[in-house]
Amino acid sequence: MVGADASRPLRPTDPRELGGYTLLGRLGEGGMGCVYLARDPLDALVAVKVIRADLAGEPEFRQRFRSEVERAKQVPPFCTAEVLDADPDHDSPYLVVEYVDGPSLSHVVQQRGPLTPANLHGLAIGVATALTAIHGAGVIHRDLKPSNVLLAPGTPKVIDFGIARAVEGQPGNTRTDQLIGTVAYMAPERLDTKARKALTPAADVFAWGAVVAFAGTGRITFAADSMPAVAVRIMTAEPDLDGLTGPLRELVEAALAKDPKDRPTARDLLDRLLTRGPDRALSSGELPRQAAAAAEAGSRFAVVDADPTSLRPDAAPRLRDSRWAKPVAAGLGATTLLLGGLTVALLTGALPAGFAAAPSASTSPSASPTPSPSPSLSPSPSTSPSPSLSPSPSATPKPSKPAPYRVEKLNRAQSWSVRTDDPDGATCRYGNQAFEVTTLKDWSYQCSGPDDTLADFRVEVDVALMDEGSCAGIWFRYRALHGYELRVCEDKVRLMRHADDDPSNGRTLVDIPLDKPLALGKFTRVGISAAGPRFRLFLGGKEITRTPFENAQFTEGRVILGVSTVGKEGASPWRVRFRNISMWQSAL
């Protein structure tokens, strides 16, 4: 949450003062009420969250609100937005929390790419510390996600933990029951429509694993084409952790276990991160099972018995800006799940942003350049049939890919070298957490990479075209100026061959027009798989070759990154950025 100027003007119907707090503007609106920027009697900025009138009329809700606020006040303020004040008995019950000044993790990854290993380890410690404190106070967060992690000075702060939950409607109340949360970071037990499981701290641990994986890879761990597909992947598939290595990867894998009993506790996450450090592997059996910790916790935790018999998207959600959470990459955003059973909601979190399809698995959060609080909307009931997210009995989880032999974030010099001495002004350099290749002439320029000679292989890399007319070049099976090139431009992808009898700029083997032009400056995952003479091409996580293309001219060679141009389009310089490259010694 940064900058008080990001708030929106008050509406004529909004209060101007509440409990001694002067309201200055609107920060957001969600299923539980409105969030306002305000000044306290000492002229300090705070955030005031006001409960909806219909919920305020439910005595059971007020009682639960009161008890959970008291619990939340016990959470140490160094790792969360501190609860400063609350009045559950006011005509409009309200909560006052610290106004945190700092960008969200989702915004930082969007702007700068995945965190460096040292910063990632620090983030993992900070969030595990926050969860340990929250769970120690008997609170379950219920909506941990990158947009709810603020990188405030000193230590990350986790905001929007579940201070209040709506209760099941009174007799005659026809409001649709709902569970609000961000699907991409929900634990499997929250999505299983056949099981009846209580919500425990293990759900937050699962979310921790997904958040750390996102921070380290720049990708949503279980990304898919739609919200139901994401949910099925969470329940059945192995996580995509390409880019994470070593002990931290092992700890993330443990946190993402399907069975909540198999996950470590938040305290154990913290212990392992602090005592083992980033350079020591975990031994099998070191992580205690969550069941024992849950038993020790007893009734301190407010659990949710949900009997989800239906699951469907909300009807025509309307996006609003808010300061409390930003939809994380990928257009999955905060999503509303309508479930039978107890109505569960967060006061400020998980403000739904609709069921948009996820973009490429590597795409950074689709957020505005200025970090803003969570988009929010008021869910409306839907009477349409609910598609079940439970996998069919015959469904078989897709086997996970083997680990790549080379993984580089391309945010510092490793295998791809810096080059700034070209007489025509072309450069290969690192900046903005990416590897940027620039040419000043209307021709291609290559940047030397590893000397690996590959035959059958797969390579994936995030690509951003920075200027009109620029194209990303990925040369493969390339040696002595001969080989293949995948040229990715704004409106098409072109596979080319460079041989003795080909034109100087290469011979086009196949052109694949794109249904939607690539947005300048936005990263898209690009992949090439080569098995013998057969090539498969991928863009945004989807294969764009309807059938494998075949050419047997060259059988092995290097992978090289660079920039190409669309003749006479745009103006110098032409720039392309690369990040998060993974390479396999098989076609997968």
Residue ranges for the known binding site for ATP are: 49
Residue whose structure tokens are 């350049």? 369
- 125 three-state secondary structure: helix
- Other Cβ atoms less than 10 A from the Cβ of 186: the count is 27
Residue whose structure tokens are 């609000």? 180
Q: Which of 143, 160, 240, 268 is catalytic?
A: 143
242 labelled catalytic? no
Q: 221 — phi, psi (to 5°)? A: -65, -40
Token reading at 432? 């903005």
Question: Do 295 and 303 form a contact (C-beta atoms < 8 A)?
Answer: no
- Which residues are paired to 48 by β-bridges? 36, 96
- Which residues are paired to 488 by β-bridges? 472, 493
Q: How far is CA 385 from the centre of its chain?
A: 29
Q: Give 35-38 contacts, CB < 8 A, sequence gap 24+.
A: 35/322, 35/323, 35/324, 35/348, 35/373, 36/7, 36/10, 37/4, 37/7, 37/99, 37/323, 38/96
Dump strand ranges (E) for 14-121: 17-18, 21-30, 33-39, 45-51, 83-87, 94-98
- Find the helix or strand (DSSP H, E) in which 439 lies: strand 434-439
CA gap 83, 60 in Å, rounded: 22
Question: Do 560 and 481 form a contact (C-beta atoms < 8 A)?
Answer: no
Q: Catalytic residue positions? A: 143
